[in-house]
Amino acid sequence: MTDYLWLWIVLGLLLLVGLGSALVVPRLRGRRPDDTSGPTTAAPPDDGTAADAGGDVLVEEPAAPALETPEPAAGRMVRLRDRLARSGSPLGARLLSVLSRDTLTEDDWDELEETLLLADIGTGPAEELLEALRTRVRVLGVREPDAVRELLRSELLKVVDPTLDRSLALERPVVDGVTKPAVVLVVGVNGTGKTTTVGKLARVLVAEDRSVVLGAADTFRAAAADQLQTWGARVGVETVRSEREGGDPAAVAFDAVRTGSTRGTDVVLVDTAGRLQNKAGLMDELGKISRVVTREAPLGEVLLVLDATTGQNGMQQAKVFGEVAGVTGIVLTKLDGTAKGGIVVAVQRELGVPVKLVGLGEGPDDLAPFDAEQFVDGLLG
């Protein structure tokens, strides 16, 4: 009997210990900013521009304990080259087959033009390329397949423009003697892949040993902030977000940059919403975000995300963003989903800024720094 009594006492004690630890373990995720034991949160600007989100912004600690190690970015473009080459890229293959004909008639030149236009290269660059090819074919009279290929390669490369500076401006600026984070604002129409791009870019930066803070200023859709936070958590990067759907995006962006400043972070990446009905609304929102952010640190890059599969149709929207947001670089996503690589040339010409990064798939490391030579080699197969 005494034996059973001891057994009951031991079981009771175990139960008490279990209950006690469940109540005591603190919940770290989603702490309010005024919880002084937690991560710090910057106050929103005090001029009222961001007042409606004041106190709503949370700094979310990364949730996942098992961190992933992102792939280094170098060499990723080779994957695109191989993919383009394997897809039997209609652009390169068709151009080469026409150019290799014994004599080139006007119909052949029309066919070349049509091929270029179908690949979304745009009328201006297509005419320029054909003119250069006509001259060189006339002068050199090349018909050897290798020589034709080399000729086409060099002319395509000229229109893609290998001289453009495609590096991201990630040097940390010094303001009044204080080193601030490099700020990258990511803009674009909804569904083009902004949030995914911010997540992938965070991984690239982590792979380069840079510290990163994410700002979920796409407050239009709560799921976008969750999505971003998940991307960040996978590589130990924290996300500053609004507590409620529809919070002020400028306040979130400001708080993200302030958090990055306070912590001595290298780069702050700010995701924005693209769901604006008209140019005036877009101008207001992006203008406000950049005004408010600039009070804390200057904008290093404004990256416009464009979906390559929308081709020339996306160009009009791209131009509007170009006009209102002061775009400094283009991220062309979903290039894995189209054989119309000519859009790279068209969009650079229309906006006058270089394609800096390309999205090559839905995988976490499917974002590559754009390389003109690899791209042209891929087009030619």
Ligand X SMILES: Nc1nc2c(ncn2[C@@H]2O[C@H](COP(=O)(O)OP(=O)(O)OP(=O)(O)O)[C@@H](O)[C@H]2O)c(=O)[nH]1
Residues binding ligand X (CB under 6 A)? 188, 190-196, 218, 221, 224, 273-274, 333-334, 336-337, 359-362, 366
Query: Would you say 188 is a known binding-site residue?
Result: yes
Q: Is 25 annotated as a binding-site member?
A: no
- Which residue minimizes CB distance to ligand X? 359
List Cβ neighbours of 360 (8 Å cut-off, separation of 6 or more).
Answer: 76, 79, 80, 83, 335, 336, 366, 367, 368
103 carries a ligand binding annotation: no
What is the closest distance, in whole angstroms, from the C-beta atom of residue 358 to ligand X in the complex? 7
**Is 38 annotated as ligand-binding?**
no
Q: Which is nearer to ligand X, 290 or 333 (CB)?
A: 333
Please, which residue, 284 or 362, has the CB nearer to ligand X?
362
Residue 278 assigned ligand-binding role: no
Beta-carbon contacts of 235 under 8 Å, excluding residues fewer than 6 positions away, are 67, 68, 70, 202, 203, 206
- Tell the smallest beta-carbon distance from residue 362 to ligand X (Å): 4
272 is in an annotated binding site: yes
CB of 220 to ligand X, least distance (A): 7
Nearer to ligand X, 33 or 70 (CB): 70
* Of 155 and 336, CB closest to ligand X: 336
Tell me if 80 is assigned to a ligand binding site: no
User: Is the alpha carbon torsion for 348, 351, 355, 358 positive or negative?
Assistant: negative
Residue 274 among known ligand-binding residues: yes
Q: Choose among 299, 300, 305: nearest CA to 194.
A: 305
Instruction: Indicate the residue among 218 and 371 with the shorter CB distance to ligand X.
Output: 218
194 annotated as ligand-binding: yes
Least Å from the CB of residue 228 to ligand X: 9
Nearer to ligand X, 95 or 168 (CB): 168
Q: State yes or no: 259 annotated in a binding site.
A: no
Minimum CB separation of residue 63 from ligand X in Å reads: 19
* Smaller CB separation from ligand X, 235 or 273: 273
Closest approach of ligand X to the CB of residue 133, in Å: 31
- Rank residues 119 and 368 by Cβ distance to ligand X and give the closer one: 368
Q: How far is the CB of 361 from ligand X (least distance, A)?
A: 5
Query: Would you say 336 or 371 has its CB closer to ligand X?
Result: 336
Q: What is the nearest approach in angstroms of ligand X to the Cβ of residue 217?
A: 11
Q: Which two tokens stand for residue 191?
A: 């569904």
HEC-encoded secondary structure of the chain: CHHHHHHHHHHHHHHHHHHHHHHHCCCCCCCCCCCCCCCCCCCCCCCCCCHHHCCCEEEECCCCCCCCCCCCCCCHHHHHHHHHHHCCCHHHHHHHHHHCCCCCCHHHHHHHHHHHHHCCCCHHHHHHHHHHHHHHHHHHCCCCHHHHHHHHHHHHHHHHCCCCCCCCCCCCCEECCEECCEEEEEECCCCCCHHHHHHHHHHHHHHCCCCEEEEEECCCCHHHHHHHHHHHHHCCCEEEEECCCCCCHHHHHHHHHHHHHHHCCCEEEEEECCCCCCHHHHHHHHHHHHHHHHCCCCEEEEEEEEEHHHHHHHHHHHHHHHHHHCCCEEEEECHHHCCCCCHHHHHHHHHCCCEEEEECCCCCCCEEECCHHHHHHHHHC
Q: Cβ 310 to ligand X, closest distance in Å?
A: 12
Q: At what angle do helices 123-140 and 343-351 cross, to 10 degrees?
A: 120
Residue 262, annotated as binding a ligand: no
Binding site, annotated residues? 188-195, 271-275, 333-336
Binding site, annotated residues for GTP? 188-195, 271-275, 333-336
